[in-house]
Amino acid sequence: MLGPHPETWLKVTPAGLWCEPANLYIDPLRAVPRAVITHGHADHARPGHDQVLATAETLAIMRQRLGAAAFGAQQALAPGKPLQLGDVMIRLVPAGHVLGSAQVVLEWRGARVVISGDYKRQPDPTCAGFEPVPCDVFVTEATFALPVFRHPPPEAEIAKLLKSLTLFPERTHVIGCYALGKTQRLLALLRAAGYEKPVHLHGALMPLTALYETLGVALGPVAPALVADRAALRGAIVLAPPSAIADRWARRLADPVVALASGWMGVRQRAKSRGVELPLVISDHADWEALNRTIDEVAAPEVWVTHGREDALVHALAQRGIRGRALYLVGRGEEEENETAADGVAGAASGGGEDPCP
């Protein structure tokens, strides 16, 4: 690495990760003069910044979730296009997490840092795939950083769901999934599996699904899930926020099969504690294998670990001679609560905040 070590110019502050020479915060936790936002999830995209830099899709998602008045100036940056901020060069590169999600690449005086944001390596038809960028320091998420997290191919999980529909044709299959990303990915996976019927959506999932369509992601026919009409939802697939599936809302459905699409569902106790009858291990985050493969691909001698359980990953990196450092950013791991609040869904208290990330 040439030039000063990134530790000297990329710092953890109470407002979040701060690039000093550009006076730029990455996914800041509180209102700042200038922010770059990796993606639209609530624990990354918060309101109140004077200037916001993000992909056009992320900006559109933020406008819809938080309102256009929640920010000052907005600047869209196309993936791959470099932008000079003082003598810092910044680039956004697809992260494969949700529509618009991007890694932030920062270069200053010969050193390059990549901040991954949230990412996954499984293909996702609703967003551009993750591109590894070689760097000196890789700042990675670690939501599923334990070797027991191994996300199966999502197609196999969708096959389980479709098989369940043939076994229980009278029961409504209600799937808990987050409003941004997971909902639309499930729709796309269902379409790819040949499911052509309308999929019913809880009201909280409608606006972002419509926005995806506007932004050019075709998801097939959807219809509102009106629980008052139990009969119409017999044998149907209903998507709803995770907080709603344990709530009275879901109990008004016809003898529902309660499913939840989440990386946490790979562990039985997690699924049991959520009262789930059909756990679907579908995640928008990298699993253990993908985290380690990605770190090897970007070939960074140093990795900063954030957003999850860092102990196992730092240990595994040390065994390969990579310097790992746990980065403590407050305010992460509240995605579920914030999402529900942002979407105005009642009953957010149920289920607790045990799932840090969608």
Taking CB under 5 A as the rule, does residue 124 contact Zn ion? no
Residue 290, contacted partner among Zn ion, another protein, none, CB below 5-8 A by kind: none
Taking CB under 5 A as the rule, does residue 118 contact Zn ion? yes
From residue 73 to residue 112, the character string flagging contacts with Zn ion as x (rule: CB under 5 A) and all else as - is ----------------------------------------
State in angstroms the smallest separation of the CB of 306 from another protein: 18
State in angstroms the smallest separation of the CB of 166 from another protein: 9
* Member of 41, 91, 120, 121 binding Zn ion (CB under 5 A): 41
Query: Which of 274/285 has CB closer to Zn ion?
Result: 285
Query: Which of 102/257 has CB closer to another protein?
Result: 257
Q: End-to-end distance of the chain based on CA atoms, in angstroms? A: 35
Site for Zn ion, residues 275 to 314, rule: CB under 5 A: none
Which phi and psi (to 5°) does residue 131 adopt?
-120, 120
Query: Which of 28/266 has CB closer to another protein?
Result: 266
Query: Which of 17/290 has CB closer to another protein?
Result: 290
State in angstroms the smallest separation of the CB of 222 from another protein: 26
Query: Which of 51/164 has CB closer to another protein?
Result: 164
- The site that binds Zn ion (CB under 5 A) totals a number of residues, namely 3
**Residues at the contact surface with another protein, assessed by CB under 8 A:** 146-150, 152, 160, 164, 167-168, 246-248, 251, 266-269, 271-272, 275-279, 309, 311-312, 315-316, 319, 350
Query: Which of 109/268 has CB closer to another protein?
Result: 268
Which residues contribute to the site for Zn ion (CB under 5 A)? 41, 118, 357
